[in-house]
Chains A and B, each alone.
Chain A
Amino acid sequence: MKKPIIQFNQFTFKYRSQVEPTLKNINLSVYEGEKILIVGPSGSGKSTLAHCINGLVPFSYKGELEGSLRIKEQETKELDIFTVSKVVGTVLQDPDGQFIGLSVGEDIAFALENDGVLQPDMTKQVMDVSRLVDMESKLDASLHELSGGQKQKVSLAGVMVDHVDILLFDEPLANLDPATGKHAISLIDQIKKETNTTVLIIEHRLEDVLHGTVDRVIVMDEGQIVSDSTPDDLLASPVLESAHIREPLYIKAMKYAGCKVTPAMQPAHLNTLQIDSWRKHLVQWFEAVKQPEDDTKKDAVVLELDQISFRYEKGKNTIDQLSFLVSKGEMISIVGKNGAGKSTLSKLICGFEKVHCGTIRLHGKDITGDSIRQRAERIGMVMQNPNHMISKHMIYDEVALGLVKRGFKQEEIKSRVDTTLRICGLYPYRNWPISALSFGQKKRVTIASVLALNPDILILDEPTAGQDLRHYTEIMDFLLELNRQGVTILLITHDMHLMLEYTPRAIVIADGKIIADKSAVEVLTDQTVIQSANLKETSLFGLAKRIGIEQPAQFVTRFITHDREVRKTWQ
Chain B
Amino acid sequence: MSSNFGGKRAVVTEDAAGRRVRGGSGADTPPPLRPRRRGIGWAQRLEIAALSGPAILMFVGFVIFPVLLAAYYGFYRWKGFGVPTNFVGLDNYVTILQDSSFHEALQHNGLIVVLSILLQGPVAVGLALLLNQRLRGQSIIRVLIFVPYVISEVIVGTAWSLMLQTNGAVNDALKSIGLGSLSEDWLANPKLAIWTLMLILTWKYVGFAVILFLAGMQNIPEELSEAAAVDGASYWQTQRRITLPLLAPTIRIWAFLSIIGALQLFDLVYIIWGQYVASTAGTSTMATYMVTEGRNAGNYGYGNAVAVVLFAISFVIALVYQRFVLRRDTQGALTEGQ
Q: Do A and B come from one complex?
A: no
